[in-house]
Amino acid sequence: MTTTSTTKFDVAVLGGGIVGSSVAYFLLQEDPGLSVCVVEPDPTYEFASALRASGGCRVQFTRPENIAMSLFSIDFIRKFESNMIANGRPAPVDWVEGGYLFIVPPEQTTGLERNVRKQLAAGCVVDLLSPSELKAKFPSMNVADIGAGAHTPHDGWCDPNGLLWGFRRKAIELGATYIQDRFADGEVDGSAVRSVVLESGNRIVADAFVNATGAWSGEVAAKFGMKLPVSPMRRFEHYFTAGSPVESLPYVKDTARLAFRSEGKGFSGGLVDGSEQRGFNLDVDHDYFERVVWPAVAHRFPAFEAAKCHRTWSGLYEVNELDGNPVIGAWNKRLPNLYTVSGFSGHGMMHAPAAGLGIAELIVHREFRTIDLTKLGYERVEANEPYAEEGIL
Ligand SMILES: Cc1cc2nc3c(=O)[nH]c(=O)nc-3n(C[C@H](O)[C@H](O)[C@H](O)COP(=O)(O)OP(=O)(O)OC[C@H]3O[C@@H](n4cnc5c(N)ncnc54)[C@H](O)[C@@H]3O)c2cc1C
């Protein structure tokens, strides 16, 4: 006969990936007296998006909330190794300040200039480059069909595995309890979530619950009767080499959603297909690089004509179908103690620090204190009012 238990915490975080672990860490920073548990079924994170991510962190957004989250998070990640020492052990994340470069065709130059003005006004370092300036900086690049580029030299990339484990170890050092189990159902009364039932049959009672289950968050929300338009979308990442010498490159992104960067002696990246069928499909299409990525990369950098793909892997984007931006906040109208932090649509690693802090502030102080993320709340979903980025992928 198996016996089940009921345990009480102040806050129960569902999902212990990079976002859930950040929430747990910041909760205990904001209020060390809290009891916090994190429900995470898989300590190997086999299917978690975080460990399949490319590691990119950039300020090139247009919504003030996203720019502010990037500025906060990049600074946090830059100092992560020494600031997140847990039990005497540093937390390396291999931060590389390699920069980002957005390139656009001539007809989108005005839009890019507008974006750059917004980023400059928010305190970002951004250089708007003409095709000839691009060519001087990146001699391998074909600039014939480019109108302009925006270069953010203080952006870069890090190791998502190090970031996840750094948050997790530090949260545990501060007192968080990781429970190896899976959320199965929510128990709700008229105005609040009272408890959650786990796959084991165990029950957790808490004052606040946080849905940080990434690509699974739409399903998890539904168990509370909440419609969260977040779906899993497969995306491929490739490691490839150029074939001919190419200078070290920043994280290059174009409007066709080609996105890649230098990695060791080669390059890491891919081309996102936003029309990919939604679902938990992690099958790898081994022809995708040759069919889709290679033509785009070889057009932009002819030195990649003889490029070789060494490895392709798949992962899941947690796509907010409403507007591609995250939902960060409580379900104020119906279950105010149910918080959501999901739907980053490909930006959840870089924004995990700021989003985790935001949710922690909301739970502990009842308000956002560092960055006002109100516009990213669930209210816009209920009102069906998208709050999308402008011309930024
Ligand atoms: C190929 C690829 C490249 C990417 N590149 C970048 C990039 O360059 N920069 C960037 O910022 N982002 C990038 N991303 C996106 C980024 O990986 C995600 O936005 C981020 O990992 C989301 O973190 P998360 O903690 O919400 O989700 P996850 O890391 O997926 O964690 C969610 C956790 O919830 C757990 N879970 C699931 N169901 C349940 C349940 N019922 N109960 C309890 N727990 C549950 C899972 O086991 C998992 O560990 C990329 C993603 C992919 C796939």
Mean of all residue pLDDT scores within the chain: 96
Task: Read off the tokens for 199.
Answer: 């796959």
Tokens of 334: 């119906």
User: Residue 391: its pLDDT value, please?
Assistant: 67
Identify any residues that bridge with 308 across adjacent strands, giving them in sequence order. Answer: 241
Locate 282 and state its tokens: 């992690």
Tokens of 318: 């947690």
How far apart (Å, rounded) are the C-alpha atoms in residues 212 and 378? 14
Helix, strand, coil percentages, rounded to 5, for the chain: 30, 30, 40
Q: Residue 256: its pLDDT value, please?
A: 87
pLDDT at 363: 98
291-314 burial, b at 16+ Cβ within 10 Å, e below that, comes to ebbbebbbbbbebbeebebeebeb
Which of 18, 25, 39, 49 is the best mutation target for the ligand 1 pocket, counting ligand atoms within 8 Å of the beta carbon and taking the most? 49
CB 312 within 8 A of CB 260: no
State residue 243's pLDDT score.
86
- pLDDT for 390 equals 85
Whether 254 contacts 103, CB under 8 Å: yes
Q: Is the CB of 234 under 6 A from ligand 1?
A: no
Tell me which residue has its CA closest to atom 8 in ligand 1: 56
324 CB less than 6 Å from ligand 1? no
Q: Tokens for 180?
A: 């190896």
Q: Judging by DSSP bridges, how do beta strands 177-179 and 36-39 pair with one another? A: parallel
Is the minimum distance from the CB of 345 to ligand 1 under 6 angstroms?
no
pTM: 0.98
Which residue among 158, 163, 213, 273 has the greatest number of ligand 1 atoms within 8 angstroms of its CB, and so is best to mutate? 213
pLDDT confidence of residue 1: 61
* Residue whose entry in the numeric block shows the structure tokens 């939604």: 278
Q: Which residues of the chain fall short of a pLDDT of 70? A: 1-2, 391-393
The answer to whether 243 and 266 have CB atoms below 8 angstroms apart is: no
**191-219: string of b/e by CB count within 10 Å (b at 16+)?**
eebebbbbeeebbbebbbbbbbbbbbbbe
Question: Each residue of 114-155: pLDDT tens digit?
Answer: 999 999 999 999 999 999 999 999 999 999 999 999 999 999
Residue 334 CB–ligand 1 contact under 6 Å: no
Q: Which amino acid is at 63?
A: R
In short, whether 186's Cβ falls inside 6 Å of ligand 1 is no
- Residue 226's φ and ψ, nearest 5 degrees, are -105, 135
What is the per-residue pLDDT for 392? 65
Question: Smallest Cα–Cα separation from 60: which of 120, 4, 17?
Answer: 120
The answer to whether the CB of 75 falls within 8 A of the CB of 33 is no
Question: Rounded distance, CA 100 to CA 261, Å?
Answer: 9
Distance CA 360, CA 374 (A): 14
User: What is the predicted pLDDT for the residue at 179?
Assistant: 98
What's the distance, CA 259 to chain centroid? 15
Q: How many CB atoms lie within 10 A of CB 229?
A: 15
* Distance in Å, CA 353 to ligand 1 centroid: 14
CB half-sphere exposure, 320, CA atoms < 13 A: 28
For 359, the token pair is 């949710």
pLDDT of residue 3: 87
Dist. CA 164 → ligand 1 center (Å): 10
288-296's contacts with Cβ under 8 Å and 24+ in sequence apart are: 288/236, 288/238, 288/312, 289/236, 289/238, 289/240, 293/238, 293/240, 293/258, 293/269, 296/254, 296/256, 296/258, 296/271
Which helix H or strand E contains 197, and what residues bound it?
A: strand 193-198
